[in-house]
Amino acid sequence: MTHIPHRLEVENINVAYGEKLVLKDLSFQAPHGARIAVVGPNGAGKSTLFKALVGLLPLQSGRVLIHGLPLGNHKDCVAYIPQREEVDWRFPVTVRDVVMMGRFNTRGWFAQPNRDDREAVDRSLAEMSIANLAKTSISDLSGGQQQRVFLARALAQEPHILLMDEPFTGVDVTTQEATIDLLNRLRQRQVTAIISTHDLNLAATRFDMVLLINKRLVAFGSAADVLKQENLVRAFGSSLLVMENGAMLVDECCPPEEEHHETEADGLYD
């Protein structure tokens, strides 16, 4: 029987900022079409992981395989949506311009868009219900609209893997539900979606698998297996709060004393 490689394989990667190692010997395999939540405390390396997976940060060691081939062989099949605060929303471009950027790996930076590009952009704008905003400057958008624009850009790229860094932070409930609905549709298309979130309850109820990290792998698998109290304590320490109704919260304003030094420094990177 022919072996079908996982869509994404991460093998013992180490990633550093300067001399500071942020991810240590991290390994996991993402199955085709899985919807995976990445959770961990501030400074755990979640944003660092995403940047490494798209080549924005070099690996000190280890490797990333996409469809069985090393990182860089599939430039057009991984879409990455960074945290909204990392984007300069004052840049003078329209919504349609931003969504068209999702086609750059297909057509190149300087080639004129062809009919396939325009149709892909039109479909993406319509799917995210922002076709009416196509000519609007991105600086005039609300937070929820900005999120939809970035989702549309990712759709226009027609990715096999979608990486989203904290998409549920700072947006309204309608946009959160629109994002979840999109993830449902992408799962039907066998798109692997990997999403970082601070909401442990969302990770437990709306995702197929959970990747729990704190610089290194703590646990990976089903939410029921990963989000056990012993694993969460290993990752979050005493900042983990379990409410009477079973809900899990993280006290991020007051990290435990023994974690404070790493959290304060690593907050620059995550």
Domains in the chain with CATH codes = 1-74+160-174+187-270 (3.40.50.300), 88-158 (no CATH)
User: For residue 139, what are the contacts with CB-CB under 8 A and spacing of at least 6?
Assistant: 89, 90, 91, 92
Residue 232 confidence (pLDDT) above 80: yes
| Proportion of the chain above pLDDT 90, given as a percent | 51
Prediction pTM value: 0.84
Length of the chain: 270
Q: Give tens-digit pLDDT for 121-130.
A: 999 999 999 9
Give backbone dihedrals phi and psi of 197, rounded to 5 degrees, phi first: -155, 150
As given in the structure block, the two tokens for residue 74 are 């599939």
Tokens 């420094």 correspond to 265
User: For residue 7, what are the contacts with CB-CB under 8 A and spacing of at least 6?
Assistant: 30, 31, 32, 33, 66, 67, 160, 161, 192
Quick check: 228 and 236 in contact, CB under 8 A? no
Quick check: 210 and 227 in contact, CB under 8 A? yes
